[in-house]
């Protein structure tokens, strides 16, 4: 078993280091494992590839990706920024608060850290730059706010985790609301003390009429998270149906209310959605092949035996897993990490009696931190392009907010009730 595990890890790291896409690296690792186990069969590979993508719950992913693309093209992102800008842009460091509030609101609309960071950053960073905000700190703050997107519903990583671990997606969605808000509040607290030290140009205070006009304009965007969360809370639809509702709603608002979404733009949106969905679904299919072979090789039980002495100490076990995941997040993107590691970790989590939805929320939050952690940091790469700064500058700018998120993670590990109690209250059980 140890030989199979070592072979899988070594070949996976080797293929990824060679620049081979993660999905193809997983397939290559699977073939190596099959040869090592002397059970090579191309039919198994084909069946598992098809079976991996043939899951109704995964239909939520293309719908939410489409909804996010439509929102950005249809003018919702601009209006989400405009309302907090009118409300608190005139405060000391006000644009920083605007950035955080906007990322939290956008998180409840699209659930994509990369998309939200790009959309909010393109609008708010030029404003911050013109007002004398340090570019490095501005970029770091927006990037740190962007990773809240996969925590507040709707969340594609939660869908992947729920399908992979056979955990209720509704519970993951509802359980992510409070941790996401805590992350936003923590960022605001750190920014409050940081902005006191800066000589910043204040924005003009908006009039009452301007605030009312902005609120009325953005209300269509703000209704969407209410529809999604309310639908889950009262059992009106599943995650897949919620994705379809979000996509149709965003298209109707963009076409007929804001009128910024044209048929030509809609075609581009559909093409971008198909490309993104193709990448994600092929990754899911490839991970199903490797997951099947891991199960045959009894790797989950091997890991459980390795951590066996810690099963009677769930808090310590959880802390060690989270520490391990912090390092994994530095070098591996969120989706492949979920698909590769969740099947290995879940038997151990269940044996220790850790709440599965609670673990899933912390697992995803941990990997989200990796999105702003060098050397890979996909969200960091996005913000460097948006803000037009060097990667190392963005890394220095995000550092205090990276530490803030790690502190939030530690707090949630120490006090599970901060996640579990609100989740049960919102779910009504």
Shared-domain flag, residues 16 and 64: no
Expressed as residue numbers, the domain containing 7 is 1-40
pLDDT digits (tens, 9 = 90+) for 43-56: 888 888 888 777 77
Report whether pLDDT(69) > 70. Answer: yes
Give the confidence band of 398 by pLDDT, cuts at 50, 70, 90. very high
5 pLDDT band, cuts 50/70/90, is: low
346 in a structural domain: yes
- Number of structural domains the chain divides into: 2
In a domain, 156, yes or no: yes
Could you tell me if 35 and 74 lie in one domain?
Answer: no
Measured between alpha carbons, how far is 246 from 16 in angstroms, rounded to an integer? 35
When pLDDT is averaged across residues 345-373 and rounded to a whole number, the result is 91
Residues 155 and 128 in one domain: yes
Closest CA to 176 of 225, 227, 240, 248: 225
- Quick one: DSSP state of residue 258? S
Strand, helix or coil for residue 93:
coil
Are 231 and 341 part of one and the same domain? yes
Contact indicator for 168, 162 with CB cutoff of 8 Å: yes
What is d(CA 256, CA 336) in angstroms, rounded to the nearest whole number? Answer: 38
Show Cβ contacts of residue 421 under 8 Å, excluding neighbours closer than 6 positions. none
2 pLDDT higher than 60: no
302-334 pLDDT per residue, tens: 666 777 777 888 889 899 889 988 888 887 778
Distance from C-alpha of 116 to C-alpha of 120, rounded to nearest angstrom = 6
pLDDT band at 362 (very low <50, low <70, confident <90, very high): very high
pLDDT digits (tens, 9 = 90+) for 211-259: 888 888 888 888 888 888 788 777 787 777 888 888 888 888 888 888 8
**49 located within any domain:** no
The secondary structure of residue 377, as a DSSP letter, is -
Judge if 78 and 18 occupy the same domain: no
Q: What is the pLDDT of residues 403-429, one digit of tens each?
A: 999 999 999 999 999 999 999 888 776
Spell out the residues 6+ positions from residue 221 whose beta carbon is closer than 8 angstroms to its own. 71, 76, 79, 80, 105, 109, 253
The verdict on residue 104 lying in a domain is yes
Q: Are 367 and 247 contained in the same domain? A: yes
pLDDT digit string (tens) for 158-178? 988 998 898 988 899 999 999
Tokens at 235, concatenated: 């059992």
| Token pair in block for residue 301 | 């039980």
| Alpha-carbon separation of residue 105 from 123, 129, 215 (angstroms) | 14, 22, 13
Judge contact between 367 and 321, C-beta under 8 A. Answer: no
| Cβ proximity of 29 and 11 under 8 Å | yes
Report percent pLDDT > 70 for the chain: 96
84, 230: one domain: yes
**Within this chain, do residues 169 and 35 fall inside the same structural domain, yes or no?**
no
23 and 82 share one domain: no
Alpha helices, DSSP H, located in 297-355: 299-306, 314-331, 334-352
Tell me what pLDDT residue 415 has: 93
Both 30 and 169 in a single domain? no
- Does any domain span residue 47? no
Query: Are residues 283 and 247 part of one domain?
Result: yes
Q: What is the DSSP string of 411-425?
A: HHHH-THHHHHHHHH
Is 48 part of any domain? no
What's the mean pLDDT when you consider all of the chain?
Answer: 84
Convert 90-99 to b/e letters by CB count within 10 Å (16 or more is b). ebebbbbbbb
Residue 333 falls inside a structural domain = yes
**Residue 398 counted as domain residue:** yes
Judge whether residue 1 has pLDDT over 60: no
Helix then strand then coil, in percent of the chain rounded to 5, is: 80, 0, 20
| Distance of alpha carbon 290 from the chain centroid | 23
| Whether residues 83 and 192 fall in one domain | yes
Lowest model confidence (mean pLDDT) among 38-52, 168-182, 365-379:
38-52
Q: What is the pLDDT of residue 421?
A: 93
Among 180, 120, 157, 98, CA closest to 383: 120
pLDDT of residue 283: 80
């Amino acid at each position: 078993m140890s030989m199979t595990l070592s072979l899988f890890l070594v070949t996976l790291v080797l293929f990824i280091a060679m620049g081979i896409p993660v999905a193809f690296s997983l397939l290559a690792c699977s073939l190596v494992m099959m040869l090592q186990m002397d059970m090579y069969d191309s039919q198994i590979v084909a069946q598992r590839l098809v079976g991996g993508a043939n899951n109704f719950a995964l239909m939520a992913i293309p719908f939410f990706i489409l909804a996010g693309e439509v929102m950005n093209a249809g003018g919702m992102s601009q209006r989400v920024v405009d309302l907090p800008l009118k409300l608190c842009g005139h405060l000391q460091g006000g644009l920083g608060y605007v950035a955080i509030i906007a990322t939290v609101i956008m998180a409840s609309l699209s659930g994509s850290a990369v998309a939200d960071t790009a959309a909010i950053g393109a609008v708010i960073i030029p404003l911050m730059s013109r007002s004398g905000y340090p570019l490095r700190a501005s970029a770091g703050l927006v990037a740190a706010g962007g990773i809240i997107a996969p925590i507040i519903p709707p969340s594609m990583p939660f869908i992947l985790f729920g399908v992979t671990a056979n955990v209720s997606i509704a519970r993951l969605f509802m359980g992510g609301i409070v941790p996401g808000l805590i992350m936003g509040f923590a960022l605001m607290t750190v920014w409050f003390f940081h902005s006191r030290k800066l000589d910043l140009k204040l924005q003009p205070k908006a009039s009452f009429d301007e605030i009312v006009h902005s609120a009325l304009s953005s209300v269509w965007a703000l209704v969407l998270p209410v529809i999604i969360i309310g639908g889950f809370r009262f059992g009106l639809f599943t995650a897949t149906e919620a994705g379809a509702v979000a996509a149709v709603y965003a298209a109707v608002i963009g076409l007929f209310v804001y009128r910024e979404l044209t048929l030509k733009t809609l075609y581009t949106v559909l093409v971008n959605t198909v490309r993104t969905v193709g990448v994600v679904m092929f990754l899911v299919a490839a991970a199903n092949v490797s997951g099947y072979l891991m199960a045959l090789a009894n790797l989950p039980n091997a890991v459980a035996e390795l951590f066996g002495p810690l099963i009677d100490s769930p808090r310590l076990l959880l802390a060690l897993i989270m520490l391990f995941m912090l390092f994994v997040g530095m070098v591996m993107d969120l989706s492949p990490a979920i698909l590769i590691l969740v099947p290995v970790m879940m038997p151990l989590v269940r044996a220790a009696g850790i709440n599965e939805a609670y673990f899933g929320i912390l697992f995803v939050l941990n990997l989200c931190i990796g999105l702003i952690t060098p050397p890979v940091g996909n969200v960091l790469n996005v913000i460097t392009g948006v803000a037009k700064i060097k990667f190392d500058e963005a890394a220095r700018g995000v550092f205090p907010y990276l530490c803030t998120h790690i502190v939030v993670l530690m707090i949630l590990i120490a006090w599970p009730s901060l996640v579990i109690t609100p989740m049960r209250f919102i779910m009504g059980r």
